[in-house]
Each structure stands twice: as structure tokens, then as C-alpha cells.
A and B are shown apart, each in its own frame.
Chain A
Amino acid sequence: MNLVVNGRNTDITDTLTISELLTKEDVKMPQMVSVELNGQILKRSEFETTKLKGDDKVEFLYYMGGGTCL
């Protein structure tokens, strides 16, 4: 099935959870990511339990520090 992850079409075969998608997309530090699923921000506790469906739109949103170093 097809997912749209950060605007890119991504084909996945199995049903994945958000946590599994984070791993599959090689997100090094999931603690630094907030996840929006179809326009709604998920709670961190929902990453393990939320299963993705075809045509879901997922946005990984990253903490970014600022003008100096982080």
C-alpha cells in the first residue's frame, strides 16, 4: 500500500505502526520527532499502537534548535 511520508510516496507491504515506520525510514532519533498523521499530531504514547492504512499522510516534524548550535 501507498503512504505519503513528508510529501513523498512510499510503498510499504506490511501494516506498520508509527514506531515501525520511524525505524523503516531510518529516523536516528525518534525522540526528536513529532508525528502528524492525516492532519493530527499524535501523542508519543500512540506511536506503538497506531497502525497505518493505505494513503495515510504522515509528517515527521523535527525539533530544531536555533540560530546558534542546536
Chain B
Amino acid sequence: MSLTDKQIERYSRHIILEQVGGTGQEKLLASKVLIIGAGGLGAPAGLYLAAAGVGTIGIVDGDNVDLSNLQRQIIHHTADVGAEKIRSAEAKMLAINPETRVKTYKQWAKADNIREIIRDYDFVIDGTDNFAAKFLVNDACFFEKVPFSHAGILRFDGQLITVLPGETTCYRCVFDGPPPANAVASCSQAGVLGVLAGVIGSLQATEAIKYLLGLGDLLTGTLLTYNALSMDFRKVCLNRNPQCPLCGENPKITELRDEEQVVCDLDNCEC
């Protein structure tokens, strides 16, 4: 594959980087990244990966755009309220870069569909919004051996870690399963500063691009935490856990299953 004149112009600020160059750009164009969840984290990740020239971007989401999403899910615009998130996201990624091959999956990630989807991809971005889905992505990526970026945001805090399954610390090495339902803060108490999704989702996209290009140091075995109020970024070194139920010495989880969804206890939850 060689770059066209238009591509050389479009990606010139990448190509001029010694560590990327034409070869690196061609690698990106031949790469496939899957984004699970077209929400706060998936939005900036999708936009930047499309702009960067990642050749194939898959997007999984079963939801429609809600007015309360727009405060942070910047891939969706006011006119998209009510539309399928995957369609809205696809349209914006193609508007930025019509060369992108966008594959859409209008479904919720579940134990019976996720492995088939992720096995076609080089890297996965976990942009899901609940614990059941986060453990599912972690486990599915482990079984399929697909590297991924895990992230979470809450109030003024965000964190992310990159996992090379079977080689580096996974989500279950740190948290062996979802928290008890009664411990999960209800939606009305929680909330999130919208721009936090932009910070953390963009960092996830950075990790994807670094992985695809083999550049720099990935956030493997390292949780990066960020607090928007103190503006502190901290790296917490996390070793693999020999007692991890998934990737430890005596794994208890040997096949993919859905964790019970931890739901809000409020009747009028708007999440």
C-alpha cells in the first residue's frame, strides 16, 4: 500500500514525525480498532482515531442518543437526539475522515456476541458505562488475546490502564468482580464533569495508536489516575495478581459469562 497525494497531505503532521513517518501512517490505515460504547469515552476516542487515519473502526452500542448525553458525548450533536448512537457516531467519524471504514454493531456487548466481534480487531477501547460490561470486555479480550484500554470516570476523577491479556495486569487482577449492588453510588449522587470524558477517552486513543505503531511505553501494569480538581496525574504500578480469577495461577473463570448488572436503586434514574 502506498499513500496517495491526498493522504500525504491529510496525514502530513503524522508523517513528519520521525517515529511515525509514511510507514507508520500506512500501519494505521491498515489497523482495526473496536470501540465498545459510543458514550463519553468512546466519543473522543472515535473522533481522534478516525482523524488519525485508523483504517477500520468498529463501534458497539445498543443505545439511542439522549439529551442528557450531550454534556460529554461530543460525537453526538443536538440534532442526533433520539437517533441510534452507532449511526450518529458513524456519521461524525466519516465526516472527519471519509476514508475510514466504520463497522457498526447495534447491540449491547454480551457474553454470547462479544468474542465474535472483538476477534477481528487489533485493539479494543472499553468505553462502557457499567461494571458488568467492563468485566465482560476484560474477560473477552483475555480469551481472544486482544489488547485493550480499560477506563472509568466518575465525578472529577478518571483512570485508565492498558492490558495485554495474559502478559500484563488485567482488571480482575485488581478487582476480582463487580462491587456489591448496595455499594454503587446512585446516579443522582454520582455525576461526572463532562470534559473528563474528553481527557480520559483521548488518552485511550493515544494508547491505541501507540500500540498500533509500537511506540513508547504503554500503560501496562500501570494505572494512570487523574483528578480534575487538583490536576494531579498519578501512575500507580500494579503487578499481576497470581490469585486473579481470570489470568492467575488457578483461574476460576474459564469461559465467558455475563456478570449480573449492578443497577441503580432509583426509580427515576436518568443514566
Contacts and interface: CB of A to CB of B under 8 A. Distances in A.
Interface of A: 6-7, 29, 31-32, 34, 36, 39-41, 43, 59, 61-70
B41 interface: yes
A31 B179 contact: yes
B30 interface: no
Contacts of B40: 66-68
Nearest to A39: B239
B152 A66 contact: yes
Nearest to A36: B238
Report the interface size class on chain B: 35 or more
A68 B111 CA distance: 21
B226 to A, nearest CB: 11
Contact of B42 (A29, A34, A67): A67
Given A61-B236, A63-B179, A70 B42 contact: no
Contact of A63 (B72, B131, B158): B131
Tell me whether chain A's interface is mostly helix, strand or loop, or mixed: loop
A28 to B, nearest CB: 9
10 closest A-B pairs by beta carbon, nearest first, are A64-B152, A69-B271, A67-B39, A67-B40, A68-B129, A31-B183, A66-B129, A67-B41, A69-B187, A64-B154
A64 B184 CA distance: 10
A70 B190 contact: yes
B239 A70 contact: no
Contacts of B131: 63, 65, 70
B206 interface: no
Contacts of A68: 39-40, 69, 129-130, 271
Given A64-B158, A66-B151, A70-B271, A41 B241 contact: yes
Contacts of A39: 237, 239
A69 B69 CA distance: 10
A65 B131 CA distance: 6
B174 interface: yes
A50 B207 CA distance: 36
Nearest to B244: A41
A59 B236 contact: yes
Contacts of B129: 65-70
Contacts of A29: 183, 185
Given A41-B241, A43-B243, A66 B153 contact: yes
B77 to A, nearest CB: 17
A40 B158 contact: no
Nearest to B41: A67
Given A65-B129, A67-B43, 17 more contacts: A31-B179, A34-B175, A36-B174, A40-B239, A41-B238, A41-B243, A62-B154, A63-B152, A64-B159, A66-B39, A66-B153, A67-B72, A67-B201, A68-B69, A70-B131, A70-B154, A70-B184
